[in-house]
Amino acid sequence: MSNSGHSSLRVGAYLLSDAEANLLRALLRLFNYDDKSRWVFAEEAPFDALVVDNARAQVVSAASLPRATRILRLVDNGDSLAGTVDVLERPIRSNRFESWLSQVAGELGSASAVIDMQPKAPSEAPARAKVVTDSDRSKSFKLRRWPP
């Protein structure tokens, strides 16, 4: 996939079920349909972004995690980490995932640093960081009946 002259950003999956990893691959292909997204799914490190199952990642040491600039933790609905920076609640919603990828793409500069596994509280986040929350649901509408 060409990305209009931009270098590709690499996103990977770690400790996710096959179904969730396949969902991420499919979403990235959809995001790249119009060549505006710079993200591609990568099988091997290093990654610009890594999506991990937070519950399963707690069991492994941070040193064993693949090299990544940013880590997005997937948590179950209602988890205490929900609403913090770099945390996304299940089920994975395309608009929230795309919003997080856009935020990360905007923040990535020429310098890449490996982050630690400790989740950041919203107050510790950079001022321009967007927390992916359920409030995004208020932007969508559902048709209850066909218009007359």
Find all residues with CB under 8 Å of 69, minimum gap 6, and list them. Answer: 46, 47, 48, 49, 104, 108, 112, 113, 114, 115
pLDDT for residue 79 is more than 60: yes
User: Pick the residue with more confidence: 131 or 68?
Assistant: 68
3-state secondary structure of 69: strand
* pLDDT class of 109 with cuts at 50, 70, 90: low
142, pLDDT greater than 70: yes
The whole-model pTM stands at: 0.68
- Which tens digits make up the pLDDT trace of 9-38? 999 999 999 999 999 999 999 998 877 778
Q: How confident is the model at residue 4 (pLDDT cuts 50, 70, 90)?
A: very low
